[in-house]
Amino acid sequence: MSLIILTSAHRLRSACRLQRIQGHMMSTKAGSEVLFEKVGNAGVITLNRPKALNALNLTMIRHIYPQLKNWDKDSETDLVIIKGAGEKAFCAGGDIRAVTEAGKAGDSLAQDFFREEYILNNTIGTYQKPYVALIDGITMGGGVGLSVHGRFRVATEKTLFAMPETGIGLFPDVGGGYFLPRLQGKLGLFLALTGFRLKGRDIQRVGVATHFVQSDKIVSLEKDLIDLKSPSNSDVAQLLDSYQEQSSLDAEKPFVLQEQTEAIDRLFSAGSVEEIMENLKRDGSAFALKQTETLAKMSPTSLKLTFRQIQEGARMSLQEVLVMEYRLSQACMRGHDFYEGVRAVLIDKDQSPKWKPSTLSGVSEQAIEECFSSLGERDLKL
């Protein structure tokens, strides 16, 4: 921990600033997994598990949440920046393996992780001060939750965005039910069901990121953000706009789904997942057949949960969505497919999960309805 403090110290002008940083440093464990620095009037959060692609665990959540609350109240903090350590990822998702083990053992982590993660997502979504997520690298699942609800999200050419949860027996959570249906046309539903990956500038084009800045400009952008004096949201937006204007990389490249946008809107406009599958098979184009193949690999239960989550979420506030998603998370913890999906994709890596039920027709409306029902006293409280 002293190393972290010393490396910060040379950038700080006085011993009293150094003391403040020491106050912000948490336990040794979290002090290594998530770093908090106060640089000038900016609070900087660094997700620091580069070997694990900065995957978010409960310890990190439990340190980020109170720190954000403190900075929101602190008159000497004007802005918060969140970034990931290393070259590869902002945050590749939640620490799903730990949750799986807890769920199997009946450990409370399976409730605590989702509850506290969603409370953190809501804190970011309602943050009063400018919040800037530098999503330079892989940003999936839990990493999306740490960024997409904040006011500013800066993608680079290295950013890879996806919500691949239907492939592990889960659903695109962390407020996916809020931001996905608000993307253009049926794009959000398409991304939610298929786990399709977007890269670089395309992430900004669809509105998941607010800005696109070349990766080699990020260090200088961060410095300029920190140097802003008492910035308002419009000051931050202006600075980010100016960096985006200097970033011409891939500007000529068309949007990856440009030619399929009309087909996505048409094929994914349906009253059920079964209807979407019929639309795709009937269409018969190479794109449609590829989506049929992709969806056939996903958990049928997850597809149906996700379809309804996106439908319902379109009419809900972020808070209502998170309450709904907490119910769904606990239904997945009680079920079969989440454990099987994690086994097949992350543990044994045989990529051939045995879903139960194995077909869409095997997933009853009643089973889905139960997943959305209230948990009473155990519901998420925001």
Q: Which residues are catalytic?
A: 94, 142, 165, 173
Pairing of strands 152-155, 211-212: parallel
Gap between the Cα atoms of 260 and 185, Å rounded: 12
DSSP H helices in 195-299: 201-205, 218-227, 233-245, 261-267, 273-283, 286-297
Contacts of 264 (CB under 8 A, 6+ apart): 185, 186, 187, 190, 257
DSSP state at residue 40: T
- The DSSP result for 22-53, as a single string, is HHH---HHHHHHEEEEEETTEEEEEE--GGGT
Contacts of 13 (CB under 8 A, 6+ apart): none
Tokens of 264: 């996505």
Region for 32 from its dihedrals, namely left if φ exceeds 0, alpha if ψ lies in -120 to 50, beta otherwise: alpha
* Omega before 353 within 30 of 0, i.e. cis: no
Residue closest to 122 by CA, chosen among 371, 309, 308, 324 = 324
Gap between the Cα atoms of 302 and 195, Å rounded: 12
